[in-house]
Chains A and B, each alone.
Chain A
Protein backbone atom coordinates (compact mmCIF):
# COMPACT_ATOMS: atom_id res chain seq x y z
CA UNK A 1 0.00 0.00 0.00
CA UNK A 2 1.18 3.50 -0.86
CA UNK A 3 1.39 6.01 1.96
CA UNK A 4 -0.39 9.22 0.90
CA UNK A 5 -0.06 11.25 4.09
CA UNK A 6 2.88 10.95 6.45
CA UNK A 7 3.23 12.98 9.65
CA UNK A 8 6.42 12.87 11.72
CA UNK A 9 6.82 14.63 15.07
CA UNK A 10 4.01 16.95 14.02
CA UNK A 11 3.08 19.74 16.44
CA UNK A 12 0.92 22.83 16.44
CA UNK A 13 1.06 25.45 19.15
CA UNK A 14 -1.06 28.57 19.53
CA UNK A 15 0.86 30.64 22.06
CA UNK A 16 0.85 28.53 25.22
CA UNK A 17 -1.80 26.15 23.98
CA UNK A 18 -0.48 22.94 22.44
CA UNK A 19 -3.20 21.79 20.06
CA UNK A 20 -1.20 18.94 18.52
CA UNK A 21 1.74 17.54 20.42
CA UNK A 22 4.42 15.67 18.55
CA UNK A 23 2.35 13.04 16.75
CA UNK A 24 3.21 10.52 14.04
CA UNK A 25 0.82 8.79 11.69
CA UNK A 26 0.63 7.40 8.17
CA UNK A 27 -2.44 7.17 5.98
CA UNK A 28 -2.46 4.79 3.02
CA UNK A 29 -4.03 5.06 -0.38
CA UNK A 30 -7.62 3.85 -0.62
CA UNK A 31 -8.32 3.49 3.08
CA UNK A 32 -10.91 5.27 5.16
CA UNK A 33 -9.06 6.71 8.10
CA UNK A 34 -10.73 8.20 11.16
CA UNK A 35 -9.54 10.68 13.75
CA UNK A 36 -11.51 10.17 16.94
CA UNK A 37 -11.45 12.27 20.03
CA UNK A 38 -13.46 14.55 22.28
CA UNK A 39 -13.95 18.21 21.42
CA UNK A 40 -10.64 20.05 21.60
CA UNK A 41 -8.58 16.89 21.10
CA UNK A 42 -6.72 18.40 18.14
CA UNK A 43 -8.47 16.52 15.32
CA UNK A 44 -9.61 19.57 13.40
CA UNK A 45 -6.17 21.16 13.73
CA UNK A 46 -4.61 18.06 12.14
CA UNK A 47 -7.13 18.27 9.28
CA UNK A 48 -6.38 21.95 8.77
CA UNK A 49 -2.68 21.23 8.62
CA UNK A 50 -3.32 18.57 5.97
CA UNK A 51 -5.26 20.96 3.76
CA UNK A 52 -2.66 23.69 4.29
CA UNK A 53 -4.91 26.07 6.18
CA UNK A 54 -2.79 25.96 9.31
CA UNK A 55 1.00 25.72 9.22
CA UNK A 56 2.70 23.17 11.53
CA UNK A 57 4.76 24.69 14.37
CA UNK A 58 7.20 21.78 14.30
CA UNK A 59 7.72 18.44 12.64
CA UNK A 60 6.96 17.35 9.14
CA UNK A 61 3.76 16.71 7.24
CA UNK A 62 3.82 15.35 3.72
CA UNK A 63 0.87 14.81 1.41
CA UNK A 64 1.73 12.72 -1.65
CA UNK A 65 5.35 13.27 -0.71
CA UNK A 66 5.00 17.07 -0.84
CA UNK A 67 5.67 19.24 2.18
CA UNK A 68 2.56 21.20 3.24
CA UNK A 69 4.57 24.35 3.82
CA UNK A 70 6.21 24.26 0.40
CA UNK A 71 3.55 23.04 -2.01
CA UNK A 72 0.16 24.13 -0.67
CA UNK A 73 -1.32 24.85 -4.08
CA UNK A 74 -0.39 21.51 -5.61
CA UNK A 75 -1.55 19.63 -2.54
CA UNK A 76 -4.88 21.47 -2.45
CA UNK A 77 -5.48 20.55 -6.10
CA UNK A 78 -5.54 16.88 -5.08
CA UNK A 79 -7.76 17.24 -2.02
CA UNK A 80 -11.47 17.63 -1.46
CA UNK A 81 -12.38 19.34 1.80
CA UNK A 82 -15.71 19.13 3.61
CA UNK A 83 -15.42 21.49 6.58
CA UNK A 84 -17.32 21.28 9.84
CA UNK A 85 -19.21 24.54 9.48
CA UNK A 86 -21.49 25.49 6.63
CA UNK A 87 -19.22 27.42 4.29
CA UNK A 88 -21.47 27.27 1.24
CA UNK A 89 -21.66 30.44 -0.77
CA UNK A 90 -24.94 32.05 0.33
CA UNK A 91 -25.08 34.39 -2.66
CA UNK A 92 -25.24 31.53 -5.16
CA UNK A 93 -27.67 28.70 -5.89
CA UNK A 94 -26.97 25.02 -5.28
CA UNK A 95 -25.86 24.65 -8.90
CA UNK A 96 -23.94 27.93 -8.79
CA UNK A 97 -21.98 26.78 -5.76
CA UNK A 98 -20.67 23.70 -7.54
CA UNK A 99 -19.94 25.49 -10.81
CA UNK A 100 -18.08 28.26 -9.01
CA UNK A 101 -15.98 25.77 -7.05
CA UNK A 102 -15.21 23.83 -10.22
CA UNK A 103 -13.74 27.06 -11.54
CA UNK A 104 -11.47 27.40 -8.52
CA UNK A 105 -10.11 23.95 -9.39
CA UNK A 106 -9.90 24.86 -13.07
CA UNK A 107 -12.23 22.10 -14.20
CA UNK A 108 -13.06 22.98 -17.84
CA UNK A 109 -16.58 24.38 -18.41
CA UNK A 110 -18.29 21.41 -19.99
CA UNK A 111 -16.75 18.83 -17.68
CA UNK A 112 -17.72 21.06 -14.75
CA UNK A 113 -21.37 21.24 -15.85
CA UNK A 114 -21.58 17.48 -16.41
CA UNK A 115 -19.87 16.67 -13.14
CA UNK A 116 -22.05 19.13 -11.24
CA UNK A 117 -25.16 17.41 -12.50
CA UNK A 118 -23.88 13.94 -11.67
CA UNK A 119 -22.76 15.04 -8.21
CA UNK A 120 -26.15 16.61 -7.54
CA UNK A 121 -27.70 13.33 -8.52
CA UNK A 122 -25.34 11.42 -6.27
CA UNK A 123 -26.28 13.50 -3.23
CA UNK A 124 -29.98 13.52 -4.21
CA UNK A 125 -30.20 17.27 -4.73
CA UNK A 126 -31.01 17.38 -8.44
CA UNK A 127 -34.43 18.95 -7.87
CA UNK A 128 -32.88 21.59 -5.57
CA UNK A 129 -30.54 22.73 -8.33
CA UNK A 130 -31.82 26.31 -8.51
CA UNK A 131 -32.58 26.78 -4.83
CA UNK A 132 -30.60 29.30 -2.77
CA UNK A 133 -28.53 27.91 0.10
CA UNK A 134 -30.67 29.55 2.76
CA UNK A 135 -33.61 27.35 1.80
CA UNK A 136 -31.80 24.03 2.28
CA UNK A 137 -32.16 21.88 5.39
CA UNK A 138 -29.11 21.03 7.51
CA UNK A 139 -28.83 17.58 5.93
CA UNK A 140 -29.07 18.97 2.41
CA UNK A 141 -26.37 21.54 3.14
CA UNK A 142 -24.09 18.80 4.41
CA UNK A 143 -24.72 16.70 1.30
CA UNK A 144 -24.00 19.70 -0.89
CA UNK A 145 -20.77 20.32 1.01
CA UNK A 146 -19.77 16.74 0.24
CA UNK A 147 -20.62 17.21 -3.43
CA UNK A 148 -18.60 20.43 -3.42
CA UNK A 149 -15.64 18.51 -1.97
CA UNK A 150 -15.77 16.22 -4.98
CA UNK A 151 -15.91 18.70 -7.89
CA UNK A 152 -12.19 18.24 -8.60
CA UNK A 153 -12.33 14.42 -8.41
CA UNK A 154 -9.93 14.50 -5.46
CA UNK A 155 -7.53 11.72 -4.55
CA UNK A 156 -8.27 12.32 -0.88
CA UNK A 157 -11.56 13.50 0.61
CA UNK A 158 -11.30 15.12 4.04
CA UNK A 159 -14.47 15.33 6.11
CA UNK A 160 -14.50 17.17 9.41
CA UNK A 161 -17.41 15.91 11.55
CA UNK A 162 -19.59 15.12 8.53
CA UNK A 163 -22.77 14.33 10.46
CA UNK A 164 -22.60 16.56 13.52
CA UNK A 165 -25.96 18.14 14.29
CA UNK A 166 -27.95 16.03 11.85
CA UNK A 167 -31.04 13.96 12.62
CA UNK A 168 -30.74 10.15 12.33
CA UNK A 169 -32.34 10.00 8.87
CA UNK A 170 -30.01 12.62 7.45
CA UNK A 171 -27.05 10.97 9.15
CA UNK A 172 -27.84 7.57 7.65
CA UNK A 173 -28.16 9.09 4.20
CA UNK A 174 -24.70 10.65 4.55
CA UNK A 175 -23.25 7.33 5.71
CA UNK A 176 -24.78 5.64 2.71
CA UNK A 177 -23.19 8.19 0.36
CA UNK A 178 -19.81 7.88 2.06
CA UNK A 179 -20.02 4.13 1.81
CA UNK A 180 -20.56 4.40 -1.94
CA UNK A 181 -17.57 6.72 -2.21
CA UNK A 182 -15.46 4.37 -0.18
CA UNK A 183 -16.19 1.61 -2.65
CA UNK A 184 -15.04 3.84 -5.48
CA UNK A 185 -11.49 3.61 -4.10
CA UNK A 186 -10.94 7.19 -2.97
CA UNK A 187 -8.94 7.78 0.23
CA UNK A 188 -11.23 9.23 2.90
CA UNK A 189 -10.18 10.93 6.11
CA UNK A 190 -12.86 11.77 8.64
CA UNK A 191 -12.91 13.26 12.10
CA UNK A 192 -15.76 12.36 14.37
CA UNK A 193 -16.80 11.85 17.93
CA UNK A 194 -19.61 9.51 16.97
CA UNK A 195 -18.36 6.01 17.64
CA UNK A 196 -21.04 4.41 15.53
CA UNK A 197 -19.89 6.48 12.59
CA UNK A 198 -16.26 5.55 13.15
CA UNK A 199 -16.89 1.82 13.43
CA UNK A 200 -19.24 1.82 10.44
CA UNK A 201 -16.98 3.72 8.06
CA UNK A 202 -13.34 3.52 9.10
CA UNK A 203 -10.84 0.85 8.12
CA UNK A 204 -8.38 2.29 10.59
CA UNK A 205 -8.62 4.94 13.19
CA UNK A 206 -6.60 6.96 15.58
CA UNK A 207 -7.83 8.11 18.97
CA UNK A 208 -6.63 11.49 20.14
CA UNK A 209 -6.99 13.56 23.26
CA UNK A 210 -5.22 16.73 24.38
CA UNK A 211 -3.18 16.79 21.20
CA UNK A 212 -1.61 13.33 21.58
CA UNK A 213 -2.41 9.94 20.08
CA UNK A 214 -3.86 7.47 22.57
CA UNK A 215 -3.90 4.47 20.26
CA UNK A 216 -4.54 3.52 16.67
CA UNK A 217 -5.65 0.47 14.73
CA UNK A 218 -8.75 -1.01 13.12
CA UNK A 219 -11.98 -0.60 15.12
CA UNK A 220 -11.97 -4.34 15.87
CA UNK A 221 -8.34 -4.34 17.02
CA UNK A 222 -8.91 -1.41 19.35
CA UNK A 223 -11.93 -3.00 20.99
CA UNK A 224 -10.13 -6.31 21.35
CA UNK A 225 -7.00 -4.70 22.79
CA UNK A 226 -8.62 -2.44 25.35
CA UNK A 227 -11.89 -4.09 26.22
CA UNK A 228 -12.21 -7.66 25.01
CA UNK A 229 -15.29 -9.01 23.36
CA UNK A 230 -18.03 -8.16 25.79
CA UNK A 231 -19.04 -5.82 28.59
CA UNK A 232 -21.06 -6.60 31.68
CA UNK A 233 -22.74 -3.51 33.09
CA UNK A 234 -23.88 -3.61 36.68
CA UNK A 235 -26.01 -0.78 38.07
CA UNK A 236 -26.91 0.39 41.60
CA UNK A 237 -23.25 0.20 42.54
CA UNK A 238 -21.61 1.40 45.73
CA UNK A 239 -18.04 1.09 46.91
CA UNK A 240 -18.62 -1.95 49.15
CA UNK A 241 -20.44 -3.90 46.48
CA UNK A 242 -17.79 -3.01 43.92
CA UNK A 243 -15.00 -4.25 46.21
CA UNK A 244 -16.91 -7.44 46.80
CA UNK A 245 -17.44 -8.11 43.11
CA UNK A 246 -13.83 -7.38 42.26
CA UNK A 247 -12.81 -9.65 45.14
CA UNK A 248 -14.78 -12.50 43.69
CA UNK A 249 -13.47 -11.99 40.16
CA UNK A 250 -9.83 -11.54 41.14
CA UNK A 251 -7.11 -9.10 40.04
CA UNK A 252 -7.01 -9.95 36.40
CA UNK A 253 -10.41 -8.50 35.54
CA UNK A 254 -10.31 -5.11 33.83
CA UNK A 255 -13.05 -2.67 34.67
CA UNK A 256 -14.16 0.91 34.70
CA UNK A 257 -16.62 2.61 36.99
CA UNK A 258 -18.59 5.74 36.59
CA UNK A 259 -21.45 7.14 38.66
CA UNK A 260 -23.28 4.21 40.12
CA UNK A 261 -22.29 1.83 37.33
CA UNK A 262 -19.54 -0.76 37.10
CA UNK A 263 -18.33 -1.90 33.67
CA UNK A 264 -16.54 -5.25 33.53
CA UNK A 265 -14.57 -5.99 30.37
CA UNK A 266 -14.44 -9.64 29.39
CA UNK A 267 -14.57 -12.14 26.59
CA UNK A 268 -17.74 -13.69 27.96
CA UNK A 269 -20.30 -11.64 29.85
CA UNK A 270 -22.33 -14.79 30.47
CA UNK A 271 -19.46 -16.48 32.36
CA UNK A 272 -18.97 -13.46 34.59
CA UNK A 273 -22.69 -13.18 35.25
CA UNK A 274 -22.79 -16.79 36.29
CA UNK A 275 -19.95 -16.27 38.73
CA UNK A 276 -21.81 -13.35 40.28
CA UNK A 277 -25.21 -15.03 40.29
CA UNK A 278 -25.22 -15.65 44.05
CA UNK A 279 -25.09 -11.88 44.73
CA UNK A 280 -28.58 -11.47 43.27
CA UNK A 281 -27.67 -8.24 41.53
CA UNK A 282 -30.76 -6.34 40.39
CA UNK A 283 -29.45 -4.38 37.43
CA UNK A 284 -27.10 -6.42 35.27
CA UNK A 285 -26.71 -6.34 31.49
CA UNK A 286 -24.32 -8.09 29.17
CA UNK A 287 -23.57 -6.67 25.73
CA UNK A 288 -20.99 -6.65 22.97
CA UNK A 289 -18.04 -4.36 23.55
CA UNK A 290 -17.79 -1.43 21.14
CA UNK A 291 -15.63 1.56 20.30
CA UNK A 292 -17.52 3.73 22.73
CA UNK A 293 -16.11 1.61 25.56
CA UNK A 294 -12.60 2.05 24.19
CA UNK A 295 -13.16 5.76 23.75
CA UNK A 296 -14.49 6.30 27.25
CA UNK A 297 -11.81 4.13 28.79
CA UNK A 298 -9.02 5.96 27.00
CA UNK A 299 -10.33 9.51 27.28
CA UNK A 300 -12.05 9.23 30.65
CA UNK A 301 -15.72 9.40 31.49
CA UNK A 302 -15.75 12.91 32.89
CA UNK A 303 -17.30 15.73 30.92
CA UNK A 304 -14.94 17.43 28.48
CA UNK A 305 -15.26 21.16 28.38
Chain B
Protein backbone atom coordinates (compact mmCIF):
# COMPACT_ATOMS: atom_id res chain seq x y z
CA UNK B 1 0.00 0.00 0.00
CA UNK B 2 2.90 2.33 0.75
CA UNK B 3 3.79 2.23 -2.93
CA UNK B 4 0.39 3.41 -4.11
CA UNK B 5 1.03 7.06 -5.04
CA UNK B 6 -2.69 7.94 -4.87
CA UNK B 7 -3.07 6.76 -1.24
CA UNK B 8 -2.94 10.20 0.40
CA UNK B 9 -5.42 11.91 -1.91
CA UNK B 10 -8.68 12.76 -0.16
CA UNK B 11 -11.82 14.84 -0.59
CA UNK B 12 -9.90 17.67 1.13
CA UNK B 13 -8.38 18.53 -2.25
CA UNK B 14 -11.70 20.24 -2.86
CA UNK B 15 -10.95 22.78 -0.07
CA UNK B 16 -7.80 23.74 -1.91
CA UNK B 17 -9.82 24.12 -5.08
CA UNK B 18 -12.22 26.37 -3.14
CA UNK B 19 -9.30 28.54 -2.06
CA UNK B 20 -8.22 29.01 -5.68
CA UNK B 21 -11.79 29.69 -6.72
CA UNK B 22 -12.12 32.40 -4.04
CA UNK B 23 -8.94 34.08 -5.25
CA UNK B 24 -10.18 33.88 -8.85
CA UNK B 25 -13.58 35.33 -7.96
CA UNK B 26 -11.89 38.38 -6.46
CA UNK B 27 -10.46 39.28 -9.85
CA UNK B 28 -13.20 37.83 -12.02
CA UNK B 29 -14.10 41.11 -13.69
CA UNK B 30 -10.63 41.51 -15.12
CA UNK B 31 -9.94 37.85 -15.84
CA UNK B 32 -13.09 37.08 -17.82
CA UNK B 33 -12.47 39.23 -20.90
CA UNK B 34 -9.18 37.81 -22.34
CA UNK B 35 -10.52 34.24 -22.78
CA UNK B 36 -13.08 35.65 -25.24
CA UNK B 37 -10.65 37.88 -27.09
CA UNK B 38 -7.87 35.35 -27.64
CA UNK B 39 -9.87 32.89 -29.76
CA UNK B 40 -11.55 35.79 -31.56
CA UNK B 41 -8.18 37.06 -32.77
CA UNK B 42 -7.09 33.61 -33.89
CA UNK B 43 -10.33 33.05 -35.75
CA UNK B 44 -10.25 36.39 -37.48
CA UNK B 45 -6.54 36.44 -38.25
CA UNK B 46 -5.68 32.85 -38.96
CA UNK B 47 -9.08 31.38 -39.70
CA UNK B 48 -10.57 34.01 -41.98
CA UNK B 49 -7.44 35.99 -42.92
CA UNK B 50 -4.87 33.31 -43.58
CA UNK B 51 -7.62 30.78 -44.25
CA UNK B 52 -8.91 32.76 -47.27
CA UNK B 53 -5.72 31.78 -49.12
CA UNK B 54 -5.95 28.10 -48.16
CA UNK B 55 -8.05 25.57 -50.04
CA UNK B 56 -10.47 23.47 -47.99
CA UNK B 57 -9.00 20.48 -46.15
CA UNK B 58 -11.03 17.34 -46.87
CA UNK B 59 -13.99 19.50 -47.73
CA UNK B 60 -13.70 21.61 -44.59
CA UNK B 61 -12.84 25.31 -44.76
CA UNK B 62 -9.66 26.38 -42.95
CA UNK B 63 -11.49 28.33 -40.27
CA UNK B 64 -13.69 25.31 -39.59
CA UNK B 65 -10.56 23.18 -39.43
CA UNK B 66 -8.75 25.24 -36.81
CA UNK B 67 -11.76 26.22 -34.67
CA UNK B 68 -11.91 22.93 -32.67
CA UNK B 69 -8.11 23.00 -32.32
CA UNK B 70 -8.37 26.36 -30.55
CA UNK B 71 -10.67 24.69 -28.05
CA UNK B 72 -8.27 21.81 -27.56
CA UNK B 73 -5.34 24.15 -27.08
CA UNK B 74 -6.87 25.85 -24.01
CA UNK B 75 -7.40 22.42 -22.47
CA UNK B 76 -3.62 22.41 -22.55
CA UNK B 77 -2.58 26.01 -21.92
CA UNK B 78 -4.87 26.83 -18.97
CA UNK B 79 -3.75 23.92 -16.74
CA UNK B 80 -0.17 24.38 -17.95
CA UNK B 81 -0.10 27.93 -16.57
CA UNK B 82 -1.87 27.07 -13.32
CA UNK B 83 0.15 23.97 -12.55
CA UNK B 84 3.56 25.42 -13.39
CA UNK B 85 3.75 29.11 -12.49
CA UNK B 86 0.80 29.08 -10.07
CA UNK B 87 1.91 25.98 -8.19
CA UNK B 88 5.60 26.89 -8.17
CA UNK B 89 5.00 30.35 -6.71
CA UNK B 90 2.98 28.81 -3.89
CA UNK B 91 5.62 26.17 -3.17
CA UNK B 92 8.68 28.30 -3.39
CA UNK B 93 7.92 31.91 -2.63
CA UNK B 94 4.73 32.21 -0.65
CA UNK B 95 5.27 29.45 1.91
CA UNK B 96 1.49 28.97 1.82
CA UNK B 97 2.08 25.40 0.69
CA UNK B 98 4.01 24.64 3.90
CA UNK B 99 1.26 26.17 5.99
CA UNK B 100 -1.40 24.17 4.17
CA UNK B 101 0.30 20.86 4.81
CA UNK B 102 0.57 21.57 8.52
CA UNK B 103 -3.25 21.39 8.54
CA UNK B 104 -4.95 18.01 7.95
CA UNK B 105 -4.29 18.47 4.22
CA UNK B 106 -1.68 16.13 2.77
CA UNK B 107 0.81 17.14 0.09
CA UNK B 108 -1.27 15.09 -2.32
CA UNK B 109 -4.47 16.95 -1.39
CA UNK B 110 -2.82 20.30 -2.10
CA UNK B 111 -1.34 19.16 -5.41
CA UNK B 112 -4.66 17.64 -6.43
CA UNK B 113 -6.44 20.89 -5.54
CA UNK B 114 -4.11 22.72 -7.93
CA UNK B 115 -4.84 20.14 -10.59
CA UNK B 116 -8.62 20.41 -10.16
CA UNK B 117 -8.35 24.16 -10.41
CA UNK B 118 -6.22 23.96 -13.57
CA UNK B 119 -8.87 21.74 -15.14
CA UNK B 120 -11.59 24.17 -14.04
CA UNK B 121 -9.77 27.01 -15.76
CA UNK B 122 -9.57 24.87 -18.88
CA UNK B 123 -13.34 24.35 -18.73
CA UNK B 124 -14.03 28.03 -18.14
CA UNK B 125 -11.83 29.19 -20.99
CA UNK B 126 -13.13 26.37 -23.16
CA UNK B 127 -16.66 27.63 -22.52
CA UNK B 128 -15.68 31.14 -23.60
CA UNK B 129 -14.27 29.77 -26.85
CA UNK B 130 -17.31 27.58 -27.33
CA UNK B 131 -19.54 30.65 -27.14
CA UNK B 132 -17.43 32.43 -29.77
CA UNK B 133 -17.37 29.36 -32.03
CA UNK B 134 -21.13 28.85 -31.79
CA UNK B 135 -21.66 32.53 -32.56
CA UNK B 136 -19.63 32.11 -35.75
CA UNK B 137 -21.48 28.90 -36.62
CA UNK B 138 -18.31 26.84 -36.36
CA UNK B 139 -19.68 24.01 -34.23
CA UNK B 140 -21.36 21.78 -36.77
CA UNK B 141 -22.83 19.07 -34.55
CA UNK B 142 -24.75 19.21 -31.25
CA UNK B 143 -22.27 16.56 -30.07
CA UNK B 144 -19.83 19.48 -29.89
CA UNK B 145 -21.35 20.41 -26.53
CA UNK B 146 -19.77 17.26 -25.08
CA UNK B 147 -16.48 19.07 -25.42
CA UNK B 148 -17.20 21.12 -22.29
CA UNK B 149 -17.18 18.27 -19.75
CA UNK B 150 -14.24 16.80 -21.64
CA UNK B 151 -12.36 20.08 -21.15
CA UNK B 152 -12.24 19.23 -17.47
CA UNK B 153 -11.07 15.64 -17.83
CA UNK B 154 -8.52 16.38 -20.54
CA UNK B 155 -7.43 19.44 -18.53
CA UNK B 156 -6.59 17.07 -15.68
CA UNK B 157 -4.33 15.07 -17.99
CA UNK B 158 -2.43 18.17 -19.16
CA UNK B 159 -2.26 19.55 -15.62
CA UNK B 160 -0.70 16.29 -14.38
CA UNK B 161 2.13 16.61 -16.87
CA UNK B 162 2.70 20.24 -15.80
CA UNK B 163 2.77 19.31 -12.10
CA UNK B 164 5.26 16.59 -12.80
CA UNK B 165 7.57 19.12 -14.46
CA UNK B 166 7.04 21.64 -11.65
CA UNK B 167 8.04 19.04 -9.07
CA UNK B 168 11.57 19.05 -10.49
CA UNK B 169 12.42 22.65 -11.20
CA UNK B 170 14.61 24.63 -8.79
CA UNK B 171 13.63 28.11 -10.03
CA UNK B 172 10.74 29.80 -11.76
CA UNK B 173 12.62 30.59 -14.99
CA UNK B 174 12.78 26.87 -15.76
CA UNK B 175 9.10 27.16 -16.59
CA UNK B 176 10.16 28.82 -19.86
CA UNK B 177 11.63 25.55 -21.09
CA UNK B 178 8.36 23.83 -20.51
CA UNK B 179 6.47 26.36 -22.59
CA UNK B 180 9.07 26.47 -25.34
CA UNK B 181 9.87 22.78 -25.57
CA UNK B 182 6.57 21.19 -24.62
CA UNK B 183 3.71 23.60 -25.18
CA UNK B 184 4.75 25.44 -28.33
CA UNK B 185 5.68 22.35 -30.41
CA UNK B 186 2.36 20.76 -29.52
CA UNK B 187 0.46 23.93 -30.29
CA UNK B 188 1.99 24.04 -33.78
CA UNK B 189 2.56 20.41 -34.78
CA UNK B 190 -0.16 18.33 -33.10
CA UNK B 191 -2.62 18.55 -35.97
CA UNK B 192 -3.86 21.93 -34.84
CA UNK B 193 -3.22 24.22 -37.83
CA UNK B 194 -2.59 21.50 -40.43
CA UNK B 195 -3.21 17.75 -40.51
CA UNK B 196 -0.28 15.69 -39.25
CA UNK B 197 -0.32 13.83 -42.56
CA UNK B 198 1.62 16.87 -43.87
CA UNK B 199 4.50 15.93 -41.58
CA UNK B 200 7.28 13.48 -42.52
CA UNK B 201 6.56 9.99 -41.27
CA UNK B 202 8.91 10.13 -38.28
CA UNK B 203 7.30 13.39 -37.12
CA UNK B 204 3.86 11.86 -37.46
CA UNK B 205 5.00 9.17 -35.05
CA UNK B 206 6.22 11.81 -32.63
CA UNK B 207 2.94 13.68 -32.94
CA UNK B 208 1.08 10.56 -31.91
CA UNK B 209 2.76 10.83 -28.51
CA UNK B 210 1.60 14.41 -28.04
CA UNK B 211 -1.45 14.62 -25.79
CA UNK B 212 -2.67 17.64 -27.73
CA UNK B 213 -2.90 15.52 -30.89
CA UNK B 214 -5.47 13.31 -29.18
CA UNK B 215 -7.28 16.26 -27.66
CA UNK B 216 -7.59 17.86 -31.11
CA UNK B 217 -8.88 14.61 -32.59
CA UNK B 218 -11.59 14.59 -29.95
CA UNK B 219 -12.69 18.22 -30.29
CA UNK B 220 -12.61 18.08 -34.08
CA UNK B 221 -14.47 14.79 -34.18
CA UNK B 222 -17.18 15.98 -31.80
CA UNK B 223 -17.73 19.36 -33.41
CA UNK B 224 -18.23 17.68 -36.79
CA UNK B 225 -20.19 14.81 -35.31
CA UNK B 226 -17.66 12.10 -36.37
CA UNK B 227 -17.26 10.11 -33.18
CA UNK B 228 -15.82 6.89 -34.63
CA UNK B 229 -12.61 5.85 -32.91
CA UNK B 230 -12.54 8.84 -30.56
CA UNK B 231 -12.65 6.53 -27.55
CA UNK B 232 -9.08 5.51 -28.41
CA UNK B 233 -7.85 9.10 -28.15
CA UNK B 234 -9.77 9.50 -24.92
CA UNK B 235 -8.35 6.29 -23.44
CA UNK B 236 -4.85 7.40 -24.48
CA UNK B 237 -5.29 10.70 -22.62
CA UNK B 238 -6.70 8.96 -19.57
CA UNK B 239 -3.72 6.62 -19.25
CA UNK B 240 -1.34 9.48 -19.94
CA UNK B 241 -3.01 11.61 -17.24
CA UNK B 242 -3.10 8.90 -14.57
CA UNK B 243 0.54 8.06 -15.23
CA UNK B 244 1.82 11.62 -14.82
CA UNK B 245 -0.55 12.30 -11.92
CA UNK B 246 1.00 9.38 -10.02
CA UNK B 247 4.51 10.59 -10.82
CA UNK B 248 3.68 14.17 -9.83
CA UNK B 249 2.23 13.06 -6.48
CA UNK B 250 5.24 10.93 -5.63
CA UNK B 251 7.72 13.62 -6.69
CA UNK B 252 5.94 16.41 -4.80
CA UNK B 253 5.87 14.36 -1.61
CA UNK B 254 9.61 13.82 -1.87
CA UNK B 255 10.21 17.46 -2.65
CA UNK B 256 8.12 18.95 0.15
CA UNK B 257 8.49 16.55 3.06
CA UNK B 258 12.12 16.31 3.99
Contact = CB atoms under 8 A, between A and B. Distances in A.
Interface of A: 14, 51-55, 72-73, 76-77, 79, 81, 83, 85-92, 96, 100-101, 103-106, 148, 152
B94 to A, nearest CB: 6
A210 B234 CA distance: 56
B106 A72 contact: yes
Closest A-B pairs by Cβ, 7 of them: A87-B99, A104-B103, A87-B95, A81-B102, A91-B23, A103-B15, A76-B104
B22 A53 contact: no
Nearest to B110: A104
Contacts of A76: 102-104
Interface string B19-32: 10011001000000
B96 A87 contact: yes
Contacts of A72: 106
Contacts of B96: 87-90
Contacts of B257: 53-55
B106 A85 contact: no
A173 B95 CA distance: 25
Given A51-B102, A100-B18, 14 more contacts: A53-B257, A54-B258, A76-B104, A79-B102, A83-B98, A87-B94, A90-B94, A91-B23, A92-B22, A100-B22, A103-B19, A104-B12, A105-B104, A148-B99
B100 interface: yes
B105 interface: yes
B14 to A, nearest CB: 9
B24 to A, nearest CB: 9
B46 interface: no
Contacts of A81: 99, 102-103
Q: Which of B12, B22, B99 has the most C-beta atoms of chain A within 10 angstroms of its own C-beta?
A: B99
Contacts of B101: 53
Contacts of A106: 12, 15, 104
A79 B258 CA distance: 20
A90 B97 CA distance: 12
Interface string B75-116: 000000000000000000011101111111110000000000
A87 to B, nearest CB: 4
Interface string B105-143: 110000000000000000000000000000000000000
